[in-house]
Structure 1
Amino acid sequence: MFSRALRRGFAPSATRSLGRGFSSAVCPCFSSSSKAVAAAATAVSAGAAAYYLGVKPGLAGGARCEAAAAVDWTKVRAELVKILEDDKYKDSSYEGATPGPLLIRLAWHSAGTFCKETKTGGSDGATMRFEPEGSWGANAGLKKAHALLEPVKKQFPGMSYADLWVFAACVAIEEMGGNKVPFTPGRSDKASGKECPMWDGKTHKDGRLPSADMGSPDKTATHLRLIFNRMGFDDREIVALSGAHSMGACHTENSGFWGPWTRAPTTVSNEYFRELMENTWTPKTTHKGKPWKGPAQFEDPTGDLMMLPSDMVLIQDKQFKKYVEQYAKDDSLFQKDFAAVCGKLFNLGR
């Protein structure tokens, strides 16, 4: 894994032009006196954590905040970076992978269950540890992320799984060249699958997460708005969040889809939007010399890159497309909006 400084040394345009020449294969019981000492230590720890994390002390409040403040988040970050830089990590869709995209997906799918009307779901609770949420189709493959983070949770038992998942994503975004996403600890963990979020929407099979294809561009656009509006996001935020597809890849063993969206799948950048606007996308019909038998997806002329129907709808729908165009032209704008909308997403349900 490149160091963060080295990754940030490549401009998106340079990464893109360089990447064009390669295939994608190259390419997360005190006594009364002791209580006083502990309280003072907690206050200092809370202030230090707030300074380091870029948040204001006291935002989370209560016993949960005190427990989270007692965690040495600088040390947690160091352990997460070790995971991100593990050269032994492998990905079935591309070489040179890191766990960063997987850790972001974990936090994204945890927080993305939020419903603003019922005030259920969201990043608080870490209910994906339980059934039925753990087996939702959209969460396939995420048990690998749970396993990667379990040693960190054991090392810092005062930290909730919910906080760990979000913090790991924040660290991953920054380590992959993205802007810092503000993090406020204080999330709690639910006790059982009885508290998994449920929702009887019209356009999904199970769970509360978006589907990649609803059969037509119009239906897919309607579906995206239904899912994301339920969380409280508008069109611009939907497109910005979709920029997470600048990282990682799809896997046939999980979703049935295959391949990375960009040639820089371990870097936060606007490459996803540039590919959407500047590349040529046609329905995928073959894969490694054989007929493609997976779900409908699109590929570029090399067959190395892919787009989902839900990606393509971002340039098929006029309202979505205007934001795709803005981000394709301005990486700084995307980086700013992406960090902001991730911060909003990761705090849903608190």
Structure 2
Amino acid sequence: MDHSQMPRTGGCPVNHGGNTSMDKPVTKWWPNALNLDILHQGGARTNPMDPDYNHRKAVKGLDYEAVKADVHALMTDSQDWWPADWGHYGGLMIRLAWHSAGSYRLQDGRGGGGSGNIRFAPLNSWPDNASLDKARRLLWPIKKKYGNALSWADLIVLSGTIAYESMGLKTFGFGFGREDIWGPETDVYWGSEKEWLAPSENRYEDLDDASTLENPLSAVHMGLIYVNPEGVNGNPDPARTALHVRETFARMAMNDEETAALTCGGHTVGKGHGAMAGDKIGAEPEAAGYEAQGFGWANPDQKGSASDAFTSGIEGAWSKEPLKFDMGYFDYLFNYEWELTKSPAGAHQWKPVDMPESEMPVDAGDGSTPRMPMMTDADMAMKVDPIYNEICQKFMADPAYFADVFARAWFKLTHRDMGPKANYYGPDVPQEDLIWQDVIPAGSNGYDVTALKAKIAASGLTSAEMIATAWDSARTYRGSDMRGGANGARIRLAPQKDWAGNEPDRLAKVLSILEPIATEAGASIADVIVLAGNVGLEQAIKAGGHSVDVPFTPGRGDATAEQTDAESFDVLEPVSDGFRNWQKKAYAVSAEEMMLDRAQLLGLTAVEMTVLVGGLRVLGTNHGGNSYGVFTDNVGTLSTDFFVNLTDMAYSWHPLEDGTYELRERATGAVKWQATSADLVFGSNSILRSYAEVYAQDDNKEKFVRDFVAAWTKVMNADRFDLLA
């Protein structure tokens, strides 16, 4: 070895922190730079599965009954390293499934239990998820046994459902089919706070008005799933807490009855754990040492006893028999007066007044010592709030009704982000169609596509009208919870038909022409809208001197108004569409950042986003026919002109006072074109410019057309789950 080449200072030759720092180099040094990471997550480099692995095929071969039997057996297989309460893990597994699914929010469809995201930061280390690392480790032998076909996402949700079954609830059903992710979700905004459980004022305009909670958030603190169990900002006040419970659950698409059922049914079984002060508990998993091997919240005083476990800091059971799904929660809540107290961990909670020991639950460890039950501030809200109280009275008068409402609400909670029933597998998938599943009737493929294309081409509609309508129909899809998209043709129904982004007048004109054509051909209007977009695109491709067919697969169905929960579709309204260079109004977030968000929800890569924007600009499909970013003299021809002119140094760009830009000829100063930041970002951002330069090259004109068609088809088929089975 040539020792002369060794570092003379004794310094380490490894780039410290360069591979492990959570601060991305670009955003660290240039915090205003556009971060494209949300379009790159979950790629082939992070996925350990074989390139040809198909989870849908794998899950069909799973021995469902054997899996369920093993999960049932686990419930009473108490382990010394994490003993079960009263010898039963039901409460723990319910909390695991609940907190996995409960991060879902309706506004953007992100969060939820559909991807196994609770395995990764930040969710795996949220204060609200304390000790759920133990539940996942208890499930590991089952995951190991069944391998790839049983995803963590399915197993986690299944464990909670089986727990309820083992405690006496007749569950509504279960669908396998969730597919795991393999790293943290960088696209999810959990809040701007820099510390756990920061005061709620950070995310409300007015803390007394729960509706002012910052969108798209649905939890009151950083690191919580819903509300603070001790009260708003940790100050007990059940009436005030009720308002925040109502808002947070509404942001999960739950109505008052579902909210009351989930709150009461969730606390009918199990217990809270706060037997000691939180400052005795170790660091969360992401902050623990290597020796912890993914475990966090070390509890030196637990010593193998379920009585000494720590999770939330709240301590006690909610009912006399915490291993039974019964009406015990209601018996306690409504048959006793309650007064404020504190847990051994110092958390605010409520205790019953003058409850005899004979009516108390017994210790979770020794199974004999009477222990004082408790209620959280959210539980007291069920009694204090007049609306929730009335619902609870109805539940108490009809226990069978309560069990059914809860079972359905639990099913909704744990399946809300799976999309249509086409994504459900297994013997326990309910036959009943539920409106929140966005039901779409089966479509037809028994018509003559070629003849139908000819009729559409002769309809008198312009290419831009057909392309824009197809795009608007499909762009609502969001892969976060697999809602929206062209299938169902809900663009013709309320509320979509009236959205400003869909240009209602243009939409009505196009539909009035396409609907009779669809009826005559025996095709769904959903198919015809997409096919018309393809026809317009093929016309634009031909005008550019190329001959490329745009793939089309029939079979979409048409949803009815009765099958559409119009209110829940309000959140899908686009308020910005960078692909059509439009914003409903000015926002604090830039147009290009909103375009990235839309691209990620559509499942697009940065390259696909680039090619679609460049193509849609020259096709003349901008909202309202605006000219921003239309860098071509041949509007309506699918060409590379957007990229060619964007990168041409014969022009220079100049900002205007209204936030837009002018492209001027350097030689004469004459204004040639106008642009928004959503156009110029493809020249200013180094990554996007590298893609733009590829498409601006003389040898890539045909490649551009092929790539545009592939990206277009991906968007049109994003919700065709029937093609993935």
TM, length-normalised to structure 1: 0.75
Structure 2 residue 287 is matched with structure 1 residue 266: no
> Partner amino acid for 2:131?
G
> What does residue range 9-158 of structure 1 map to in structure 2 within 5 Å?
63-88=54-79, 96-157=86-147, 158=149
Equivalent pair of 1:127/1:196 in contact (CA under 8 Å): no
- CA shift digits 1:14-36 (9 cap, x unpaired): xxxxxxxxxxxxxxxxxxxxxxx
- CA shift digits 1:142-174 (9 cap, x unpaired): 111101101100001121100111111111111
Give 1 or 2: higher helix fraction. Answer: 1
Evaluate the alpha carbon distance shift between residue 121 and residue 104 of structure 1 in structure 2; reply closer, same or farther with a 3 A threshold.
same
Q: Distance in 1 between matches of 2:346 and 2:384?
A: 23
Q: Distance in 2 between matches of 1:281 and 1:97?
A: 29
Partner of 1:345: 413
Question: Cα distance, 1:349 vs. partner?
Answer: 1.5
Q: Distance in 2 between matches of 1:103 and 1:317?
A: 29
Which of 254, 267, 287 lines up with 1:233 in the alignment? 254
> Partner amino acid for 1:312?
M
Question: Cα distance, 1:195 vs. partner?
Answer: 4.4
Partner of 1:34: none
Aligned-partner SS, 2:185: helix
User: What root-mean-square deviation, in Å, do the aligned CA atoms of Structure 1 and Structure 2 show?
Assistant: 2.2
Question: Cα distance, 1:91 vs. partner?
Answer: 7.9
Equivalent pair of 1:259/1:306 in contact (CA under 8 Å): yes
Question: Cα distance, 1:205 vs. partner?
Answer: 2.9
Question: Cα distance, 1:209 vs. partner?
Answer: 3.0
Which of 296, 312, 331 lines up with 2:348 in the alignment? 296
Q: Distance in 2 between matches of 1:342 and 1:95?
A: 22
Q: Distance in 2 between matches of 1:317 and 1:209?
A: 18
Partner of 1:49: none
Question: Cα distance, 1:107 vs. partner?
Answer: 0.9
Which of 319, 336, 342 lines up with 2:404 in the alignment? 336
> Partner amino acid for 2:259?
I
Aligned-partner SS, 1:114: coil
Q: Distance in 2 between matches of 1:197 and 1:107?
A: 19
Partner of 1:224: 245
Aligned-partner SS, 2:172: coil
Partner of 2:25: none
Partner of 1:9: none
Question: Cα distance, 1:222 vs. partner?
Answer: 2.0
Deviates more, 1:230-239 or 1:266-275: 266-275
Q: Distance in 1 between matches of 2:188 and 2:179?
A: 15
Q: Distance in 1 between matches of 2:87 and 2:384?
A: 30
Aligned-partner SS, 1:67: helix
Equivalent pair of 1:284/1:298 in contact (CA under 8 Å): yes
Q: Distance in 2 between matches of 1:149 and 1:269?
A: 26
Deviates more, 1:202-211 or 1:136-145: 202-211
Question: Cα distance, 1:194 vs. partner?
Answer: 3.1
Deviates more, 1:188-197 or 1:165-174: 188-197
- CA shift digits 1:196-249 (9 cap, x unpaired): 843335332335433212122343112212211111001111110012101111
Equivalent pair of 1:270/1:334 in contact (CA under 8 Å): no
Partner of 2:171: 180
> What does residue range 294-333 of structure 1 map to in structure 2 within 5 Å?
294-300=346-352, 301-302=354-355, 304-333=372-401
Evaluate the alpha carbon distance shift between residue 196 and residue 274 of structure 1 in structure 2; reply closer, same or farther with a 3 A threshold.
farther
Q: Distance in 2 between matches of 1:321 and 1:89?
A: 41
Aligned-partner SS, 2:326: coil
Which of 151, 157, 160 lines up with 1:166 in the alignment? 157
Question: Cα distance, 1:182 vs. partner?
Answer: 0.8
Evaluate the alpha carbon distance shift between residue 241 and residue 337 of structure 1 in structure 2; reply closer, same or farther with a 3 A threshold.
same
Evaluate the alpha carbon distance shift between residue 298 and residue 97 of structure 1 in structure 2; reply closer, same or farther with a 3 A threshold.
farther
Aligned-partner SS, 1:191: coil
- CA shift digits 1:37-94 (9 cap, x unpaired): xxxxxxxxxxxxxxxxxxxxxxxxx9433222211011111111111122557988x9
Structure 2 residue 273 is matched with structure 1 residue 251: yes
> Partner amino acid for 2:221?
H
Evaluate the alpha carbon distance shift between residue 87 and residue 127 of structure 1 in structure 2; reply closer, same or farther with a 3 A threshold.
closer
- CA shift digits 1:237-279 (9 cap, x unpaired): 1110012101111111211110001111111122212211112
Question: Cα distance, 1:324 vs. partner?
Answer: 1.3
Question: Cα distance, 1:343 vs. partner?
Answer: 0.5
Aligned-partner SS, 1:85: coil
Equivalent pair of 1:176/1:268 in contact (CA under 8 Å): yes
Which of 213, 224, 227 lines up with 1:210 in the alignment? 227
Evaluate the alpha carbon distance shift between residue 283 and residue 133 of structure 1 in structure 2; reply closer, same or farther with a 3 A threshold.
same
Evaluate the alpha carbon distance shift between residue 293 and residue 182 of structure 1 in structure 2; reply closer, same or farther with a 3 A threshold.
closer
Evaluate the alpha carbon distance shift between residue 327 and residue 197 of structure 1 in structure 2; reply closer, same or farther with a 3 A threshold.
farther
Structure 1: 5+ residue stretches without partners: 1-61
Evaluate the alpha carbon distance shift between residue 89 and residue 330 of structure 1 in structure 2; reply closer, same or farther with a 3 A threshold.
farther
Q: Distance in 1 between matches of 2:187 and 2:159?
A: 21
- CA shift digits 1:320-341 (9 cap, x unpaired): 1111112223221111111110
Partner of 2:299: none
Q: Distance in 1 between matches of 2:101 and 2:345?
A: 32
Higher relative contact order (CA 8 A, sep 6+): 1
Q: Distance in 2 between matches of 1:333 and 1:97?
A: 29
Partner of 2:295: none
Aligned-partner SS, 2:86: coil
Q: Distance in 2 between matches of 1:96 and 1:196?
A: 40
> Partner amino acid for 2:223?
D
Q: Distance in 2 between matches of 1:108 and 1:164?
A: 13
Equivalent pair of 2:75/2:89 in contact (CA under 8 Å): yes
> Partner amino acid for 2:163?
A
Evaluate the alpha carbon distance shift between residue 196 and residue 138 of structure 1 in structure 2; reply closer, same or farther with a 3 A threshold.
farther
Equivalent pair of 1:114/1:349 in contact (CA under 8 Å): yes
Partner of 1:38: none
Q: Distance in 1 between matches of 2:85 and 2:118?
A: 28
- Runs (4+) off by over 6 Å: 89-92
Aligned-partner SS, 1:96: helix
Equivalent pair of 1:133/1:207 in contact (CA under 8 Å): no
Question: Cα distance, 1:191 vs. partner?
Answer: 1.4
> Partner amino acid for 1:318?
P
Aligned-partner SS, 1:298: strand
Equivalent pair of 2:126/2:224 in contact (CA under 8 Å): yes
Aligned-partner SS, 2:115: coil
Equivalent pair of 2:238/2:381 in contact (CA under 8 Å): yes
